[in-house]
Structure 1
Amino acid sequence: MAKSKHFYIRKAHRYLGVILGIQFLLWTIGGLYFSWSNMDEVHGDFEKRKPPFLPVGSLLASPSTVIDSIKKAHPVDSFVSIQLIEILGKPYYQLRGITSKQQGGGHQHSMKMATWLADAVTGQLKPALTKEQAIEVASKRFNGEPKVKSVEYLTATNGHHEYRESPLPAYAITFEHPSGSTVYVASELGTVQKFRNNKWRIFDFLWMLHTMDYNSRDNIGNLLLRIFSIFGLITVFSGFALYAISFKGFKKNPLSKSRFS
């Protein structure tokens, strides 16, 4: 005896529901956390102390003097940006540029982004921040006076690290604080790059489950998410079709309900 349309639609709907049910639950949990969370707390804004303003009384060196000094010491191809920043109460120039290096007997060149710091008053180049300087920079930007719990020097990160796709090398300074906050200071840039706390970490984990990007967490156009989205539509439409067919059968034959139950 040939099986009815009810059988195949019910079977497809049942198995798709089992497969997608867990992911639907994760999407719902993530959506609830996202919508009920205070994003200022997730971003750690309550922990951040605003950087001090630079004094206007200092006579600053010309940026061209610093650029000439860098050109003499490094094979700079071009400069990308120059910015006046504050580091531990003193003004500094932060310069970014592209250096070139010959390869293969001088016929090929490798390009690399580089960063330099220079004292904005004397014009002298400054080396990257030391561990002690990075701790002091992080402490001055962190609201309150918590104790330092641990310090880690990062030279590489993967796609799951909370400091992923950010300037390296960097110091990760974790404070003894209920929020479990870590402040990341890029040693060559001389500035704080990110604040990370436990609420952000929960948000980031749920975001990975939400986007189904288990490699870099931020690709919302990955193949797995597209497939599950299509399967979700099929599940919904199969439910509508099952209801429509069952409704018509009920109209034609009152006994159809007992036959397919």
Structure 2
Amino acid sequence: MSHQKFMRLFAKWHIWLGWLVGLPVLMWTVTGLVMIWVPIEDVRGNHLRADLPELRTEGLVLPDVPDTVQSISLESFPDGPGWIVVEEDGGRYRYSPTDGRLYNPLLEEGAREVAEAAFAGDAELQRVTYFPADSVPMDFRWPVNVWQAHFSDDTNLYIAAQTGEVLAVRTDWWRTFDFVWGLHIMDLQTRDLETQSQFNHITLLVFAILSVFGALLGCTLMFRRRKARVKANA
């Protein structure tokens, strides 16, 4: 096959690939623009988290924990410091820094107090709802028993029922970002902003490979057109 026939074949492939991958490429560009529009710290609602009190180490008592654990750390909470113990099975528990006792899981009133102390926005707390690990809301998606504190500006704070830790802040912009991220990776089911979940699934890989192939064909055709112009000018 002659060089010109190869180029005509490349041009035909390039046109068909352009029709096939044009929409995904436009979607990747638009969703990428949306995702960089607001700093990721604001998307995650860091500006809505109240400053935690400074840790004080005087008079600390080590917690009474099992013989083997993954880690023990002293952390700050809205109501003061606490030991966070991660046991071998991954379970997280909070212990008192003054007498070493294990804290009981939060009840509704305790979750409400934590939410009001941890939220730095102006909206009012409307309700507090408990969700077990196997049925958490879509805008949380971690397998953890949590309290959802819902505020009047549609912000949700998620508080770990066992430890009282504020695990996530979810705003309207976060939910928009989350949806756009799902479009960007072509996976609206298992997307996960916090852990940057696996997105090398077959749909995305196929369209990405076709896009690269189409771009390479376009670059090849550019050289062909450039040579054609040079001959015409000669």
Q: Does 1:162 align with 2:139?
A: yes
Distance 1:80 1:226 in 2: 37
Q: Counterparts in 2 of 1:244-255, with a 5 A limit?
A: 244-245=223-224
**2:178 aligned residue:** 204
What's the TM-score once normalised by structure 1's chain length? 0.72
Does the CA-based 8 Å contact 1:211-1:219 persist in structure 2? Answer: no
Q: Which segments of 5 or more consecutive residues in structure 2 lack a partner in the other structure?
A: 192-196
SS at match of 2:82: strand
**1:176 aligned residue:** 152
Once the two structures are superposed, what CA deviation does each residue of 1:21-44 show, in whole Å capped at 9, x if it has no partner?
111111111221233323332121
Distance 2:112 2:99 in 1: 25
Partner amino acid for 2:151?
F
**1:192 aligned residue:** 166
Q: Does 1:93 align with 2:83?
A: yes
In our comparison, the structure showing a higher alpha carbon Rg is 1
SS at match of 2:106: coil
Q: Which runs of 4+ in 1 moved over 6 A?
A: 249-254
Q: Which segments of 5 or more consecutive residues in structure 1 lack a partner in the other structure?
A: 72-76, 99-111, 255-261
Does the CA-based 8 Å contact 2:134-2:143 persist in structure 1? Answer: no
Q: Counterparts in 2 of 1:113-132, with a 5 A limit?
A: 113-132=90-109
Once the two structures are superposed, what CA deviation does each residue of 1:126-161 show, in whole Å capped at 9, x if it has no partner?
211112211211211111453223433222368993
SS at match of 1:113: coil
Distance 2:137 2:14 in 1: 35
Distance 2:45 2:159 in 1: 15
**2:110 aligned residue:** 133
Does the CA-based 8 Å contact 1:139-1:145 persist in structure 2? Answer: no
Distance 1:233 1:91 in 2: 52
Q: Counterparts in 2 of 1:193-232, with a 5 A limit?
A: 193-217=167-191, 218-232=197-211
Identity, % of aligned positions? 27
SS at match of 1:32: helix
Cα RMSD for the two superposed structures? 3.2
Distance 1:243 1:216 in 2: 40
**1:153 aligned residue:** 130
SS at match of 1:238: helix
**1:52 aligned residue:** 53
- Distance change >3 Å, CA 211–CA 240, structure 1 → 2: same
SS at match of 1:117: strand
Once the two structures are superposed, what CA deviation does each residue of 1:2-52 show, in whole Å capped at 9, x if it has no partner?
x95455333322221111111111111122123332333212122111111
Shift of 1:220: 4.0
Does the CA-based 8 Å contact 1:42-1:197 persist in structure 2? Answer: yes
What's the TM-score once normalised by structure 2's chain length? 0.80
Q: Does 1:80 align with 2:70?
A: yes
**2:194 aligned residue:** none
- Distance change >3 Å, CA 191–CA 167, structure 1 → 2: farther
- Distance change >3 Å, CA 160–CA 247, structure 1 → 2: farther
Partner amino acid for 1:95?
V
SS at match of 2:72: strand
Q: How many residues align?
A: 226
